[in-house]
């Protein structure tokens, strides 16, 4: 696979792993290694300073880049503040920007998201926004200077997969930025489909951390992503309305 570039940084792995929901730190460690990921997200707000310490130790030992996120923020103001705290805590300009608009679905708030993205870009952050599957919003986020587009497939933790493949295709066609599917993945088939639709990467949290066997699922999704990238590059056959025999003429060299 060709590497993916975000803000000038190259990633060989196309899987970003969320660190939430793992039963134990040891399982997280194993899942990171099985997944082959090079970057993991960490919710600044959701972990206390002490726990953060041991978490960071694990991530350091795995040699993965930390992408702090602003999970739990409901306004641009709150998200910007959280991003700044995360910059200090994790010593990185990178931030996965979440501005949530609804508690029950954790769907993004388009208007607050754009406002927060604009402020953070102005302040020198590398901003990767968690967004709806709205192609117009994606272009607006590109216009304000975000480094990638992270649309959802379905709500966080829902495991419903990709509810609107059509919109994901439009986002892919409409932006030169990396497109990273960011929520809804439930299992391997969701990940391969995302890549076939043209996504550059997939972010998984619950699909892996809450699977019965997180390490096996980490490996499954890693393979699924690789399969999807290969399949997209291999030029699939068109869908036909009727059948076509694989061998049609007698005497063909098969």
Residues in 132-151 that interact with its own copies by CB under 8 A: 132, 134-137, 139-140
Of positions 45, 65, 84, 172, contacts its own copies by CB under 8 A: 45
Among 158, 172, 175, 198, the residue binding its own copies under the rule CB under 8 A is 158
Report whether 13 contacts 37 (CB < 8 A): yes
Among 170, 172, 175, 198, binds its own copies (CB under 8 A): 170
Interface with its own copies in residues 218-237 (CB under 8 A): 219-221, 223-224, 226-228, 230-231, 233-237
Residue nearer to its own copies on the CB measure, 91 or 242: 242
109 binds its own copies (CB under 8 A): yes
129 near its own copies, rule: CB under 8 A: no
* Interacting span for its own copies (CB under 8 A) from 8-16, 75-83, 85-93, 189-197: 189-197
Among candidate residues 14, 96, 219, 222, the one labeled active-site is: 96
Pair 15, 180: CB distance under 8 Å: no
CA nearest 19: which of 27, 8, 11?
27
Interacting residues of 37 by C-beta distance below 8 A, sequence separation 6+: 13, 15, 16, 17, 64
Q: Please name which of 147, 75, 148, 141 lies closest in space to residue 112, comparing C-alpha atoms.
A: 75
Which two tokens mark 41? 């997200």
DSSP string, 59-79: HHHHTPEEEEE-TT--SHHHH
- For position 97 contacting its own copies by CB under 8 A, the verdict is no
């Amino acid at each position: 696979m060709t590497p993916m570039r975000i803000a000038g940084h190259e990633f060989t792995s196309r899987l970003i792993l969320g660190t939430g929901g793992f039963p134990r730190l040891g399982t997280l460690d194993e899942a990171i290694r099985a997944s082959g990921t090079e970057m993991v997200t960490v919710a600044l707000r959701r972990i206390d300073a002490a726990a953060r310490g041991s978490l960071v130790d694990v991530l350091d030992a795995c040699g993965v880049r930390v992408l702090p996120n602003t999970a739990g923020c409901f306004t641009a103001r709150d998200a910007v503040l959280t991003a700044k705290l995360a910059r200090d805590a994790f010593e990185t300009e990178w931030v996965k920007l979440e501005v949530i608009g609804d508690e029950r679905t954790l769907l993004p708030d388009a208007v607050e998201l754009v406002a927060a993205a604009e402020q953070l870009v102005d302040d020198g952050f590398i901003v990767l926004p968690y967004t709806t599957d709205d192609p117009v919003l994606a272009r607006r986020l590109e216009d304000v200077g975000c480094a990638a587009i992270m649309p959802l497939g379905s709500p966080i933790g829902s495991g419903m997969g990709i509810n609107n493949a059509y919109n994901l295709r439009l986002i892919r066609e409409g932006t030169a930025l990396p497109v990273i599917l960011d929520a809804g993945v439930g299992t391997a088939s969701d990940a391969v489909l995302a890549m076939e639709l043209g996504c550059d990467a997939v972010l998984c949290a619950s699909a892996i951390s809450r699977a019965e066997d997180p390490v096996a699922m980490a490996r499954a999704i890693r393979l699924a992503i690789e399969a999807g990238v290969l399949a997209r590059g291999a030029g699939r056959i068109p869908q036909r309305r009727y059948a076509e025999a694989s061998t049609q003429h007698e005497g063909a060299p098969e």
